[in-house]
Structure 1
Amino acid sequence: MDIKEKLDILSKLISFPSVNDHEKQVAIYLQKLLQEHNISSQILPLEGDRANLVAEIGSGKPVLALSGHMDVVDVQRDNWQTDPFKLTSVDDKLYGRGSTDMKSGLAAMVIALIELQESNFQFPGTIRFLATSGEEVGQYGAETLQKQGYMQDVDSLLIGEPSGYVVVYASKGELDLKIQSFGKAAHSSMPALGNNAVEHLLRVLNQIESQLSDLMTTAENDVLGKTLFNIDVIKGGQQPNAIPGYAEAVLNIRTIPELANQKILDTIQNVIEHYNATTTGQINLVCDMNIIPILGNKDAKLIKLIQKIVQPYLQKQNYSAEEIEQLEKQAQLSGIPFSADEILTVGVSGGTDASKFLIDQPQGFNYVVFGPGNGNAHQDNEFVSQTMYLDFIDIYQQIIKEYFK
């Protein structure tokens, strides 16, 4: 497959506006593409215009699973300098929503499989490709595939989320929680006739944060660090002369094994129950996302292979002193280490489908997150390096060949 064809495939994937939906259209395209190269696959429908896709090459053990998600996050078109759903090339940068997260990884995996198939690659075992829906919100597609048994016999898992030349083998869990405060509206000149939902919300948030702070101070993971607690959304009230009858806040908490998701949920629920019992407030907790932390095997075969195979690709980057300084600053802000001459293995705060795929074996599994991309996932004017995208097609093929030796 020549470079134009490889770019055309990524361009087609970018053209699907699979913003938290419509992954079925992506799956249909991928199935047709795979069929053209004699690779069979199944589209597994979900609700609405959503679906997963599963393809396999080979048979028997060992089973190497490759996975990527087909959905992307929303865009604010006014902030984009290009059409977010049209792949646009500028120098070595390929712009488009999902170019980094993670349609370049998805395309690279599919093309790698196609090229291996066309080369009549013979190997003992199975390559299983899992294209998922809904990773960005709840990881519903991966959860469904896991329940359907597609991970039951998997020996190693490679997820093509954007990592650049860093190997990720651990990720924090995630809780998205809505704290609802129900009060009673009234005129601001007569507050006693109402019940201020905003005031109750602020008070209970302070108590929740205080209780969790004590727990977070004493819990830490050697790879993932400490729990992260954020209040990301807060709503309440409509105008200055009206006591608000309803308010809500959304919490995003990044979790570690040492402070389990359920412990955090129980702590928050206890705070709320005590608050409701001792005040005139009526607070309710809704859990919109519950993803566990994953801590893989640092000595996994996949990790060793990647470190060996990818080292020459890292060396040819030939970063300038200015680029290294910029990348080091970015590393400090993101908390993800950077090295110009070593393939690092790290843990990250962001979650992946691994949290659902590996829900029954969250620690010690042979898994890795490794794919083309950079630190601009979810941002305006998202882009991926064309060189890195094309390199990863070759890298994935080398990893697969070495894995089955």
Structure 2
Amino acid sequence: MTKEEQLAVFKKIVSINSVNDNEGEVADYIASLFKPYEGDDVKIEHVAYSQGRDNLVVTIGHGDRVLGFSGHEDTVAPGDLSLWDTDPFHPVVKDGKLYGRGACDMKSGLAAIVVAALEILEKGEQLPGKIKLLLTVGEELGNMGAAQLTKLGYADDLDGLMVAEPNDDLHKITYACKGVIDYHVTSFGKAAHSSTPEKGFNAIDPLLEFANEAKAALAKFDHADPILGKLTHVITKINAGEQINSLAEKAQLAGNIRNVPEYPNDMIYDTLNDIVEKLNQQPGVHLVIKYTFPESPMGGDPNSPLLKLAQQVAHDQFGIDAEPVTSTGANDGQEFTQSKKEFTSIEMGPGTDTAHQPNEYCNLDAYYQAIEFYQAFAKAFLSVK
């Protein structure tokens, strides 16, 4: 493919508005690119998550050794459009950068792994193994597509996974991530005039008790992981009351926890559930807790063979000395590595620090380089005996 053709794929994917929805259109477009090659060497599978939201799995080649490439099709919302210099869904190239929503996170990496695979097919190269593209929905809202594909067994044959998330234009490799737990607590009370509080029950009071107890309990989980550091816990949302002279009939709060392997998700759930259960023993108290975006922490090894191979290819082919790093954020690899087969996942892709920002962009030199890197990395990985 020419650079113009490579750029056209990138621009088309960015132009599709897939803000937390509509990933099916992205999947359909990418599937159409592989359709001419479909047959014994190429398998294309749409895996519906819901109406208009399709994951896409493309498997290329034959052999026992399998390398996965992961990319998500969704983006976050563009936010205040007045802060954008251009339409976020009409990609613009300026000064060697492509601007648009998702240009960095992560339609640059998504396009790069797609184009890399297409070029392998275009050249008629026979690989000593398989490449599997795992293209997902709902990553920004909780890795929903990756969780679905994992449960369906699509990662059970992987020997390694490259997640093409932006990582300092290929100069960093993420090998471990903290877990994520978002929790929501609702307190139910009984409304009454504030001058006669004995006639009601203020839903705010037990919610405040929960907040204090949760903060104290989670503060005891203070051992630092040698790679990922300490667990963090922040209460980020509180909503309660209708007006100042009425007892609150309902009160809600939400918190975010980033945990480490020493304190797995189940331990966090047990801790918070015990607080709710204890408080609910008090007269009039009715608390309900629910969890969203639960993502287990993913440990890792900065000296794993997969990471070392990525470093070697980046250095030998492109003169890049990629630095192993950890992350407090989540990625689809944390879901895929919960498959039946154990394998290593790393994160390495084009893009810098403009994800989720107005005027998001990707350096096109990094995008073109990523295409070459993914091809070289796939050949090196599948050639390992």
Check whether TM > 0.5.
yes
Instruction: Call closer, same or farther: CA 1:314–1:182 in 2, change over 3 Å.
Output: farther
Aligned equivalent of 1:233, options 213, 233, 237: 237
- Structure 1: segments with no counterpart, 5+ residues: 316-340
* Mapped contact 2:314–2:321 kept (Cα < 8 A): no
Corresponding residue to 1:196 among 192, 202, 213: 202
Structure 2 residue 350 is the aligned partner of structure 1 residue 372: yes
Give deviations 1:11-70, integer Å, cap 9, x for gaps: 111111111111111100100011245544111222211111111111121011111111
Deviation at 1:302, TM superposition (A): 2.7
Aligned residue in 2 for 1:335: none
* Change in CA separation of 1:92 and 1:186 when aligned onto 2, cut-off 3 Å: farther
- Residue identity matched to 1:309: V
- Residue by residue, what CA displacement relative to the aligned partner does 1:48-93 show, whole Å, maximum 9, x if unpaired? 1111111111112101111111111122123323211121222133
Query: Is 2:119 the partner of 1:115?
Result: yes
- Once residues 162 and 193 of structure 1 are traced to their aligned partners in structure 2, the CA distance between those partners, rounded to angstroms, is 56
Matches for 1:4-23 after TM superposition, within 5 Å? 4-23=4-23
Task: Tell which deviates more after alignment, 50-59 or 88-97.
Answer: 88-97
Partner in structure 2 of residue 386 of structure 1: 364
Write the distance in 2 (CA, Å) between the matches of 1:346 and 1:314: 20
Distance between the aligned counterparts of 1:51 and 1:15, measured in 2?
Answer: 17
Partner residue, 1:354: 333
**Do structure 1's residue 62 and structure 2's residue 65 form an aligned pair?**
yes
Q: Matches of 1:47 and 1:342 in 2, distance apart?
A: 41
Give the CA deviation at 1:171.
Answer: 0.8
Residues 63 and 128, structure 1, Cα contact 8 Å, conserved in 2: yes
Question: 306, 319, 343: which one pairs with 2:322?
Answer: 343
Given that 2:130 and 2:382 are in contact with CA atoms closer than 8 Å, whether structure 1 keeps it comes out as no
Identify if the C-alpha distance between structure 1 residues 57 and 79 changes in structure 2 by more than 3 Å, giving closer, same or farther.
Answer: same
Aligned to 2:129: 125
The one-letter code matched in structure 1 to 2:63 is G
Superposed counterparts of 1:166-185, under 5 Å = 166-185=172-191
CA contact (8 A) 1:188 1:243 kept: yes
Q: Write the deviation string for residues 291-325 of structure 1: whole angstroms up to 9, x where unpaired.
A: 1111234333331222122237876xxxxxxxxxx
Amino acid at match of 1:187: H
Distance in 2 separating the partners of 1:20 and 1:132: 11
Q: Over residues 82-134 of structure 1, what are the superposed CA-to-partner deviations in whole Å (9 max), with x where a residue is unaligned?
A: 21112122213322111111111000000000111111212211111111111
Do the aligned partners of residues 199 and 376 (structure 1) sit closer, same or farther apart at CA in structure 2, a change above 3 Å counting?
farther
How does the TM-score come out when normalised to structure 2? Answer: 0.92
Written as runs of structure 1 = structure 2, the 5 A alignment for 1:39-78 is 39-76=42-79, 77-78=81-82
Structure 2 residue aligned with 1:288: 292
Pair 189,158 (structure 1): closer, same or farther in 2 beyond 3 Å: same
Q: Partner amino acid for 2:98?
A: L
RMSD: 1.9
1:274 matched to which residue of 2? 278
Deviation, structure 1 residue 191: 2.6
- Structure 2 residue 227 is the aligned partner of structure 1 residue 223: yes
Counterpart CA distance in 1 for 2:310 and 2:302 is: 12
**Which deviates further from its counterpart, 300-309 or 22-31?**
300-309
Paired residue total: 377
1:372 is displaced (CA, Å) by 1.0
Counterpart amino acid of residue 357 in structure 1: F
Q: Does the C-alpha gap of structure 1 residues 230 and 92 become closer, same or farther in structure 2, counting only changes over 3 Å?
A: farther
For 1:341-370, what per-residue CA distance to the aligned partner results, in whole angstroms no more than 9, with x for missing partners? 8421121111111121112479x7322111
TM-score, normalising length from structure 1?
A: 0.88
SS of the counterpart of 1:295?
A: coil
* Number of the residue aligned with 1:400: 378
- Contact 1:296 / 1:365 at 8 angstroms: preserved in 2? no
Q: Which residue of 2 aligns with 1:208?
A: 214
Checking the alignment, whether the CA contact within 8 Å between 1:302 and 1:399 is kept in structure 2 is no
Instruction: Indicate the SS of the match to 1:78.
Output: helix
Give unmatched runs, 5+ long, in structure 2: none
Partners of 1:277 and 1:59 lie apart in 2 by 60
Q: Percent identity?
A: 37
Residues 235, 255 of structure 2: 8 Å contact kept: yes
Equivalent pair of 2:71/2:164 in contact (CA under 8 Å): yes
Secondary structure at the counterpart of residue 222 of structure 1 = coil
The aligned residue for residue 327 of structure 1 is none
